[in-house]
Structure 1
Amino acid sequence: KPVLYYPLDSWFIKTTAVKEKMMALNTTINWKPASTGTGRFGNWLENLVDWNLSRSRYWGTPLPIWRTEDGSEVKCIGSVEDLMKEIDAAVAAGVMEKNIFEGFEVGNHSKENYEKIDLHRPFVDDIFLVSKSGKKMFREPDLIDVWFDSGAMPYAQRHFPFEHKEKFNEVFPADFIAEGVDQTRGWFFTLHAIATMIDESVAFKNIISNGLVLDKNGNKMSKRLGNAVEPFAAIEEHGSDPLRWYMLTNSQPWDNLKFDISGVDEVKRKFFGTLYNTYNFFAMYANIDGFTYAEEEIPVADRSELDRWIISLLNSLVKEVAECYETYEPTRAGRAISEFVGENLSNWFVRLSRRRYWGGSYDKDKVSAYQTLYTCLNTVAKLSAPMAPFYADLLYTDLNKIAGKEKDQSVHLADFPVADDSLIDRDLEDRMAIAQKASSMILSLRRKEKLKVRQPLARIMIPVLNNGFQEKFDAVKSIILSEVNVKEVEYLNDAAGIISKKIKANFKTLGPKYGKLMKQIAAEVTGFTQEDISRLERSGSYDLTINGEPIALSLEDVEIQTEDVPGWLVASEGGLTIALDINLTEELKQEGIAREFINKIQNIRKDSDFEVTDRIVLKIQKNERFNLAVENYRDYISNQTLASELVMVDVISQATAHTVEIDTDLEAVLVVEKHS
């Protein structure tokens, strides 16, 4: 059947009368993203027309307007109390036979009382009123736009202004609302319009305009296409916390999310798996040593540099995450927590501190290590709670069962962490960042040459950019050398003639900055000498003049590559250049073999379910290719593997013998047994 369009008389709210006020109030709202507030919603307000309020429907919220048949007299009812009075007047005037809401008690706001009446159409159509001149009045047959109901919800939910008038401002305006971007002309507008017209206020202070969840290829999900993900099935398989964490950290809530279920699994492994393993490490050794945080708190100033570094970083994290939550940036908060747990707490602090927990006496340094790791885990639980409520609560309660440090039974009842600025040491954080970066670069060079980390190397060379850099590098030198298994570092005050570098323009940064001049800048950069490159690295900037226009180059505007020299591997990143000596002496080879033995023996211990404190007896079948290495490093191997005895034998025929790979074409046969 054809659709017919024809004009109808309608009721409007004259929103254009408050257009300027609505626009002004909109600028005070924190929109996420800001572009929706200034663009989509802002443009809607700039082109505002009056609000068409009436709808022609059978059931719904009626227009509370009665008019005489000739339209000369109008009444608008503002409350049930007003309506009851008008009905009684109509009954008295003979317009109605009786009050159809008889028995309703004005002022009684109980559910039972309100069940006696129904204010929706069509029931209210049986109500007729009387005008001042005594004429019969009929209700306007139209309904109110349902979006008006949505916009009135802050008042309706509190029955304002009939109840809770004195406390209404405690809950209005709302601190925060969230809905899809399609609500720009719906709920967002009706809330804003009604609040502006009632008392020239905003209805909400902060708003997240949610994006859409698409499939991994960016297509809209639908059952027809078979690309829809069943949320409850995903929760059942992966857990609600990993699913929530993935969705919040993968993209900003106001951006469209390309949902890939493999990403949820990655979050479960990389963040939750790492956090679980870190707690498991802590719990295992804390149980062995009987640590319950009963010892007196060791002042942070008296703790090791590694402890002070992670505590500093933790307090920096607390500041960052608190700011992100306060400004409705959950994605940044989640990513910061993930990086702290993965890169700093687990991959750096715990790994570099393992020896402090393992073995040795229960001294001040070990207690400090336990207190530091406990504090980090407990704080991470509190920071993560808004985004991972279930796992954060489990971690918090598991820690608190033993230590009893927290008075609250749940992480969701605990106070949010507050950063202690006195514990933040930026210089220490910078020094450790150099250590992490240098270690990463050296380990990358090792992988390039397929040199295992267990194989010691002789030295690295570092070009010195300035005195401050050498001082910082020197402060973390021992950590770097230990981490990458290199014996020493050599500083170069003049790398020219030793390390050769190439440079080219980074068009991604230069293009937006300099546009048409980009090609000329690129040609100039390509002609840089080794001294020019060194100058740029030292100062972080380089001034050029192109066609009379000053150009300030930064390190991000160029890409610097290094060339390997015979016997060395060279890497450069962000102004830091490192050359790695890959020549192997016989002594270095022997130490590498010893480290391989330690690794394989430790794996056998683990696979055999030995306790970490169990001592062992170790038998190794002789092989001329590693006999000398084992003899020279006998004590080292024994100490690292808790071997009470290490015996070299001609032949091992025991069924319990293990064959392990020491090198590409070198195997060893050995027996690992508990010492009786």
Structure 2
Amino acid sequence: VTYAVVPAGPAGTPDAEAPDALPRESSVQLAAEVLGSEYLIAQDLVGNYAKDLGYASADEARAAVSRTVLGRQLEGVAYDRLWDFYADTERFGTENAWQVLVADYVTTTDGTGIVHQAPAYGEEDQQVCAAAGIPVILSLDEGGRFVDTVPDVAGELWSDAGKTLTRMLKAQGRLIRQASYEHSYPHCWRCKNPLIYKAVSSWFVRVTDFRDDMVRLNQDITWTPENVKDGQFGKWIGNARDWSISRNRFWGSPIPVWKSDDPAYPRIDVYGSLDELEADFGVRPTDLHRPFIDRLTRPNPDDPTGKSTMRRIEDVLDVWFDSGSMPFAQVHYPFENREWFDQHSPADFIVEYIGQTRGWFYTLHALSTALFERPAFSSVVSHGIVLGNDGQKMSKSLRNYPDVNEVFDRDGSDAMRWFLLASPVLRGGNLVVTEEGIREGVRQVLLPLWSTWYFFSLYANSAQPGGYEATRDTTSDDVLDRYVLARTRRLVTEVTEHMTALDSTLAAASLRDFADVLTNWYVRRSRDRFWAGTEAGDTRAFDTLYTVLETVTRVAAPLLPLVSERIWKDLTGGRSVHLEDWPEPDELPADDRLVEVMDRVRQVASTALSLRKQSGLRVRQPLARLTVVSDDADGLARFEDILRDELNVKAVSVVELTPTSAADAGITRRLTVAARVAGPRLGKGV
């Protein structure tokens, strides 16, 4: 019986120590009359190899099946090895090799239903073979070239040896089919060369010993977005495996481990300080990097012959181990600053993109759990990915994003900052960077705030001879002043709550809405008062707008640091808005009822203006009457004069909402399907 096995490529066959048969699925042996042998192929795939085995058609091949067995029935059955490179079982420990194994990951969707196992070049292969007592054997050196144990291709690069090995298989009559398949393959992201997945010796942190502690301590961390805690990060640490921390590189932090160079006299020394190194080697290193640290050697104390030497292992630490050590390494803990570190750990806040749930967030959490049994940080924002204007990850080589310097020169750096902080990216979503999106923030927030400040300074300077120096005042009884002050108080409350919850997106939304209220309602509706100056002794509008701008710039400072700084300094003459205290809501008067009603007035005005536009009636054209049907008629009636002026109508009638009044006013209810939402679910039926 011949096993029909599909390897990943001929270069991997010298290390193949066992084929796999799929358990619980049917396999078949079929008689190949032309070739005079039987071949083991998965039942579902027999027809695919009809011509290779000498049959005229797939049906003929299936009809020639001689017997059928299950994969698990073949488990442990020995077979003749493909090559004799590792036949010396005493030398290579291969006494358990070359037997049929079973594994759940093997499928019958393609190939032959049987795959070869090379434990040195595949994680699943290694797990399956390790369970069967089959060792890892490396036929490739660190450069990807075959070693001397495979003499026919020794010294050849793995990617070049395929032709030689294929010729050898043909000569032995063991090649059933030769074909090329197009499939994805890993390449180096820098040099674009193909890579191989190869087993290497490594040093590990035994994460599995404290994995449960990591899961428990994760519950003490505030995550934004919240779903990351038990989702992407929680699932990752809940299934965390031991962490390989050594790398076969020259540059990096050398692992402080010295090992005997004679296996007959084994010894391992781990050093934790310069004092310990000096005590054993007689010198105090001034540079802990390679190659200097590698020059420290000494006789092996456990070798009575005195011939073996303690040498540092060549590996360096994974850079993620360095980054995970940052909280304590930056202050030279534990050699210095013990008290400071204990008082400042865990960190209050960190931020990085969502991929760091498997990177920096993970290494920080793992090392802090192992060393201190506490989280490394208390609060974290795990933002999404910033994408180029083509929807792909930003890349210097692709140049798929606006030139940052051009954006700064044209729109200012606050525009870019606002674009990022106001976007869903800080709530875990992805963000496509476009010039239009950046300019939208300028139009909606930066220009309105700057224009309001310019408006204020212009009219305050001309309000009276020598200008008027406004002061902070919240006592005005003017209804628009009271409204904007109460609205500012609400802004302070909302932004404080959102920023405390690490949600800059909602904080920005509150500021954006307020900018519209300030410019398109308060300032516009109050222009006559500013134009009049202070000749009549009325300074309420100036003092109110001063109070609002001074408060708003403090609120906006984290989101718009440069614009807020400029406005605040010019407004107050102070040193810096960033040295001021965060505003408190109690600094401003509260009037929730006024805010509710005035917001309703603004809504009515906006709706009426839309109706004018739909009907082709310009605002300059006066209309006889506006009828408003509302469930708060008494509240709206107080501001009929504002609606008359805003909408250019002779009369405003506010009617309490009842079934009768709604019908009399021609108000009906109509349901409209949201096509964008329903379309993906209902298709063309929307």
Equivalent position amino acid for 1:11 in 2: W
Alignment of structure 1 residues 286-301 onto 2, 5 Å: 286-290=460-464, 298-300=473-475
Q: Report how many residues are paired.
A: 478
Deviations 1:570-605 (A, max 9, x none): xxxxxxxxxxxxxxxxxxxxxxxxxxxxxxxxxxxx
Alignment of structure 1 residues 266-415 onto 2, 5 Å: 266-290=440-464, 298-300=473-475, 302-341=476-515, 343-359=516-532, 362-363=535-536, 366-401=538-573, 408-415=574-581
- Report the equivalent of 1:168: 341
Deviations 1:459-502 (A, max 9, x none): 2222353xxx1211112222222211222222445326523344
Deviation at 1:299, TM superposition (A): 4.9
> CA–CA distance in 2 between the matches of 1:346 and 1:388?
17
> CA–CA distance in 1 between the matches of 2:458 and 2:373?
60
Deviations 1:138-181 (A, max 9, x none): 32332222211110011111111111112113432222222222
SS of aligned partner of 1:289: coil
Deviation at 1:185, TM superposition (A): 1.6
Deviation at 1:130, TM superposition (A): 5.8
Deviations 1:16-50 (A, max 9, x none): 11111101111222222223332222111111111
Asked whether the equivalents of residues 59 and 122 of structure 1 are also in contact (C-alpha less than 8 Å), the reply is: no
Alignment of structure 1 residues 541-620 onto 2, 5 Å: none
> CA–CA distance in 2 between the matches of 1:462 and 1:53?
71
Deviations 1:106-147 (A, max 9, x none): xxxxxxxxxxx1112332222234666576533233222221
Deviations 1:431-453 (A, max 9, x none): 10111011111111222223232
- Report the equivalent of 2:420: 247
- Report the equivalent of 2:621: 455
Say whether 1:79 aligns with 2:305. Answer: no
SS of aligned partner of 1:206: strand
- Report the equivalent of 1:185: 358
- CA distance change for structure 1 residues 492 and 273 in 2, over 3 Å: closer, same or farther? closer
- Report the equivalent of 2:230: 38
> CA–CA distance in 2 between the matches of 1:221 and 1:297?
47
> CA–CA distance in 2 between the matches of 1:164 and 1:215?
43
- CA distance change for structure 1 residues 158 and 507 in 2, over 3 Å: closer, same or farther? same
Say whether 1:58 aligns with 2:227. Answer: no
Asked whether the equivalents of residues 470 and 542 of structure 2 are also in contact (C-alpha less than 8 Å), the reply is: no
- Report the equivalent of 1:486: 649
Deviation at 1:375, TM superposition (A): 1.1
- Report the equivalent of 1:209: 382
SS of aligned partner of 1:9: coil
SS of aligned partner of 2:336: coil
SS of aligned partner of 1:463: strand
Deviations 1:401-426 (A, max 9, x none): 3xxxxxx4011111121111872211
- CA distance change for structure 1 residues 502 and 490 in 2, over 3 Å: closer, same or farther? closer
Equivalent position amino acid for 1:427 in 2: R
Alignment TM-score, normalising by the size of structure 2: 0.65
Say whether 1:259 aligns with 2:433. Answer: yes
- Report the equivalent of 1:142: 315
Deviation at 1:209, TM superposition (A): 2.1
- CA distance change for structure 1 residues 378 and 263 in 2, over 3 Å: closer, same or farther? same
SS of aligned partner of 2:231: helix
> CA–CA distance in 2 between the matches of 1:270 and 1:223?
30
Equivalent position amino acid for 1:441 in 2: T
Deviations 1:243-290 (A, max 9, x none): 221222243323211222022223223322222221121111111124
- Report the equivalent of 1:196: 369
Alignment of structure 1 residues 645-656 onto 2, 5 Å: none
Counting strand residues as a fraction of each chain, which structure ranks higher? 1
Question: What residue ranges of structure 1 are gaps of 5+ in the alignment?
Answer: 89-98, 102-116, 402-407, 523-676
Q: 2:392 aligns with which of 206, 219, 222?
A: 219
> CA–CA distance in 1 between the matches of 2:636 and 2:336?
67
> CA–CA distance in 1 between the matches of 2:355 and 2:540?
53
Asked whether the equivalents of residues 177 and 204 of structure 1 are also in contact (C-alpha less than 8 Å), the reply is: yes
Asked whether the equivalents of residues 402 and 434 of structure 2 are also in contact (C-alpha less than 8 Å), the reply is: no
SS of aligned partner of 1:21: helix
> CA–CA distance in 2 between the matches of 1:412 and 1:497?
56
> CA–CA distance in 2 between the matches of 1:50 and 1:391?
49
> CA–CA distance in 2 between the matches of 1:482 and 1:496?
25
Deviation at 1:507, TM superposition (A): 5.3
SS of aligned partner of 2:462: helix
Asked whether the equivalents of residues 431 and 475 of structure 1 are also in contact (C-alpha less than 8 Å), the reply is: no
> CA–CA distance in 1 between the matches of 2:549 and 2:249?
58
> CA–CA distance in 2 between the matches of 1:430 and 1:497?
26
Question: What residue ranges of structure 2 are gaps of 5+ in the alignment?
Answer: 1-156, 159-194
Say whether 1:432 aligns with 2:606. Answer: no
Say whether 1:495 aligns with 2:643. Answer: no
Asked whether the equivalents of residues 474 and 588 of structure 2 are also in contact (C-alpha less than 8 Å), the reply is: no
- CA distance change for structure 1 residues 505 and 464 in 2, over 3 Å: closer, same or farther? closer
> CA–CA distance in 2 between the matches of 1:263 and 1:59?
41
- Report the equivalent of 2:208: 16
Deviation at 1:352, TM superposition (A): 1.1
Alignment of structure 1 residues 227-238 onto 2, 5 Å: 227-238=400-411
Say whether 1:118 aligns with 2:287. Answer: yes
- CA distance change for structure 1 residues 226 and 446 in 2, over 3 Å: closer, same or farther? same
Q: Percent identity?
A: 36
Asked whether the equivalents of residues 293 and 371 of structure 1 are also in contact (C-alpha less than 8 Å), the reply is: no
Equivalent position amino acid for 2:525 in 1: L
- Cα RMSD after superposing both structures: 2.9
Deviations 1:636-670 (A, max 9, x none): xxxxxxxxxxxxxxxxxxxxxxxxxxxxxxxxxxx
Deviation at 1:395, TM superposition (A): 0.4
> CA–CA distance in 1 between the matches of 2:533 and 2:410?
42
SS of aligned partner of 1:252: helix
- CA distance change for structure 1 residues 492 and 13 in 2, over 3 Å: closer, same or farther? closer
